[in-house]
Amino acid sequence: MLTALCGFAVLIVLILCRVPIALAMGLVGFFGFAVERGLGFDNFFDFKWRVPLSMVASHAVYTAREYGLSVIPLFILMGNLVGSSGLAGELYRAAYAWLGHRRGGLAMSTVLACGGFSAICGSSLATSATMSRVAIPPMREFKYADSLAAASVAAGGTLGILIPPSVILIIYGVFTETSIRELFAAGVIPGLLGVLFYLFAVRYTVWRTPEAGPPGALTPSAERWKALSGVLGVLLLFVLVMGGIYAGVFTPTEAAGVGAGGAFLIALYKRSLTPVIMLNILRDTVRTSAMLFSILIGALALSSFVTRAGFPQELADWLSGLGVAPLLVITAMMMVYVLLGMLLESLSMLLLTLPVFFPVVQSLGLDPVWFGIVVVVVTEISLITPPVGLNVFVLSATVPDISTRTIFKGVTPFWVVDILRLVLLILVPSLSLWLPALLYR
Amino acid sequence: MSEPLSELDAPPPQPRDFFGRLCSWLSDLGALVLFALMLLTCVDVFGRYLLNAPLNGGTELTELALSVIVFSALPVVTLTGGHVVVELLDLNMPAAAKVLAARVLDCLWALVLSGIGYGVWKLASRALRRREVSEYLQIPVAYVLYFTVFCLALGAVASLWRCLSPRR
């Protein structure tokens, strides 16, 4: 137990010293594992390094050969293709046509469009990066406060990791051997709830400061329907991909491949692809995948060490010895996530904590699907929590003249409704579990 | 309303020096394999449901493709600083210290990549000795593992090269 705690301490120090997270986790995992196998100061040179080395090597090889994970590059490719094909703009236009004339309507349209985009994109960063280019210019045109405009994109973008397809849910599923189909089904209602709550946050902001979100122009009803038809492509793709998974026609990997193919066809049809753009999209996707997989491999090495040190088991035994209510344990875990969220981005945070938390959750007899959703929602919150709200940084990188301070200020109401949603999801598990139960159990 | 710009109008960073270019080409190979994987999955699914002709060994090819995609891009991601880093503390270090830190990091990467590479090489030689092949297509597993070793080794050499080369 002491070794594991020391390991975590070293890990945090390394991460704070700007060692890449994958490298830090891998190194701590490797040396921690070696220590557990009897490495000490006296036998440093004649230690059998081959054992920890082959542990890391086989994690590297088997992770990169895991069929279930091949869905990751394909879903990222699909999101990138959709992002380049202008579908995000059409989503926004459609939402605007219906909501734009209301007070705060453009920000509400942003939230809705983000929700729609999340339904075909599995990553929060991609969602907010794409939506910021689409939604910020019109909001500035209508003299929206920068804080509200940017906050609606940053917060709306976090929906990307909950509304399926979701890269994080896939990784959670593979890592904990939980059904990805069920996780995807479980994410739908909490995701829609998120959209609803964010709309509420926009309403609240414009109620407090009406000049933050003046109404836009009214769209005549004929044009409204026309705008809605522009969304057909997105809808079709979503129905094909998610419908296929839900109905059990495709495995998630096949669905991702077909979805990427569909997005490719849509992009071709819209004439938004040149060979150069396509090559750049592919390059970008491959690199993002390599980056994600390195974190995954590092995390697996770390997990091997932590498990071998017996830390999760000891923690679970200790907790059950205390006899505390599961709700209290979950609350404590959520605190840990909110704290870690100030330091880490969502995937690293998830992979860092799961080897310890997941066995505890299992020993408490809690539902792994429900826990997955709760964890994803709390990591989502970390994306807009200072000081390392990653979505906020993406946004201030794409729109350089809005400072992170302004965005964090505007994001506060969104953050509050997020916490409310988290509490609701913890207290009412059926919000997450009703749909998968209906479909599969 | 302005037209949405593509998120990818700017290409991902391409390193200029010799090893950097080599790594970058390697990742382009991965990019092509990814495109092929997309086509393969589509063909597999449509063949199965519409033509009732499943593609044998689709799963195997997917797994192979995934290995190639992940490892081919690993060197260039490492070289261009594409890994996730937490930039929480604003380190007010003198420029020389920053350069030193970057060199240490390059060195670490070289060590780690070559370490993993060595481990995979052991796995590959074992696979070669045992003549392990994939189930349907009888593809020797060792070839894929040796490709992985090559990627890791190239990444290690390139990191070492960068560690030793002058920088601003």
Mean pLDDT value across residues A195-223: 88
Across A35-39, A200-204, A281-285, B120-124, least confident range: A35-39
Q: What is the pLDDT of residue A104?
A: 87
Dihedral angle computed from the Cα positions of residues B18, B22, B25 and B29, in that order, rounded to the nearest 10 degrees: 180
Q: What's the whole-number average pLDDT of chain A? A: 87
Our CA-based measurement puts residue B1 at a distance from the nearest CA of chain A, in whole angstroms, of 6
Query: A46-58: per-residue pLDDT in tens?
Result: 778 888 888 999 9
A57·B123 Cβ contact <8 A: yes
Six-digit token string for A398? 């794409």
Nearest to A61 among B88, B105, B145 (CB): B145
Residue of B23, B28, B32, B38 to mutate when probing chain A, most A C-beta within 10 A: B38
Q: What is the pLDDT of residue B140?
A: 86
| pLDDT bucket at B70, cuts 50 / 70 / 90 | very high
Is residue B5 over pLDDT 90? no
Give B38's contacts in chain A (Cβ within 8 Å): 74, 77, 257, 260-261, 264
* Higher pLDDT among residues A17 and A193, named by residue: A193
Judge whether B83 and A23 are in contact, CB under 8 Å: yes
* Higher pLDDT among residues A270 and B52, named by residue: A270
Is residue B9 over pLDDT 60? no
Query: A227-263: per-residue pLDDT in tens?
Result: 888 788 778 888 888 888 888 888 888 888 999 999 8
* φ/ψ (deg, to 5) at B140: -65, 125
Quick check: helix, strand or coil at residue B2? coil
Give B108's contacts in chain A (Cβ within 8 Å): 19, 23, 27
B88·A282 Cβ contact <8 A: no
| pLDDT bucket at B89, cuts 50 / 70 / 90 | low
Q: What is the pLDDT of residue B168?
A: 52
Give B66's contacts in chain A (Cβ within 8 Å): 64-67, 69-70, 73
Dihedral angle computed from the Cα positions of residues A250, A253, A258 and A264, in that order, rounded to the nearest 10 degrees: 160
Query: A74-124: per-residue pLDDT in tens?
Result: 988 988 888 787 788 888 888 888 888 888 888 999 999 998 888 887 777
| pLDDT bucket at B10, cuts 50 / 70 / 90 | low
Q: What is the pLDDT of residue A172?
A: 92
Mean pLDDT value across residues B136-148: 87
Name the packing angle between helices A326-341 and A346-363 (round to 10°): 170
Q: What is the pLDDT of residue B1?
A: 28
* Higher pLDDT among residues A399 and B21, named by residue: B21
| pLDDT bucket at B4, cuts 50 / 70 / 90 | very low
Share of chain A above pLDDT 90, in %: 25
| pLDDT bucket at A368, cuts 50 / 70 / 90 | very high
B8·A344 Cβ contact <8 A: no
Nearest to A26 among B40, B112, B118 (CB): B112
Is residue A143 over pLDDT 90? no
Query: A295-338: per-residue pLDDT in tens?
Result: 899 989 998 898 888 888 888 888 877 878 888 889 989 988 88
Q: Which residue has the tokens 């060490």?
A: A305
Output the pTM of the full model.
0.87
What is the C-alpha separation between A48 and A123, in angstroms, rounded?
Answer: 41
Share of chain B above pLDDT 90, in %: 37
What is the C-alpha separation between A15 and A25, in angstroms, rounded?
Answer: 9
Our CA-based measurement puts residue B23 at a distance from the nearest CA of chain A, in whole angstroms, of 12
Query: B90-105: per-residue pLDDT in tens?
Result: 667 788 888 888 889 9
Give B144's contacts in chain A (Cβ within 8 Å): 65
SS3 track for chain A = CHHHHHHHHHHHHHHHCCCCHHHHHHHHHHHHHHHHCCCCCCCCCCCCCHHHHHHHHHHHHHHCCCHHHHHHHHHHHHHHHHHHCCHHHHHHHHHHHHHCCCCCHHHHHHHHHHHHHHCCCCCHHHHHHHHHHHHHHHHHHCCCCHHHHHHHHHHHHHHHHCCCCCHHHHHHHHHHCCCHHHHHHHHHHHHHHHHHHHHHHHHHHHHHCHHHCCCCCCCCHHHHHHHHHCCHHHHHHHHHHHHHHHCCCCCHHHHHHHHHHHHHHHHHHCCCCCHHHHHHHHHHHHHHHHHHHHHHHHHHHHHHHHHHCCHHHHHHHHHHHHCCCHHHHHHHHHHHHHHHHCCCCHHHHHHHHHHHHHHHHHHCCCCHHHHHHHHHHHHHHHCCCCCCCHHHHHHHHHCCCCCHHHHHHHHHHHHHHHHHHHHHHHHCCHHHHHHHHHHHC
Q: Is A279 on the interface with B (CB under 8 A)?
A: yes
B63·A70 Cβ contact <8 A: yes
Our CA-based measurement puts residue A79 at a distance from the nearest CA of chain B, in whole angstroms, of 11
Six-digit token string for A412? 């506060």
Q: What is the pLDDT of residue B88?
A: 64
* φ/ψ (deg, to 5) at A285: -65, -45
Judge whether A96 and A216 are in contact, CB under 8 Å: yes
Query: A377-425: per-residue pLDDT in tens?
Result: 998 888 888 776 777 877 777 777 888 888 888 899 999 999 999 999 9
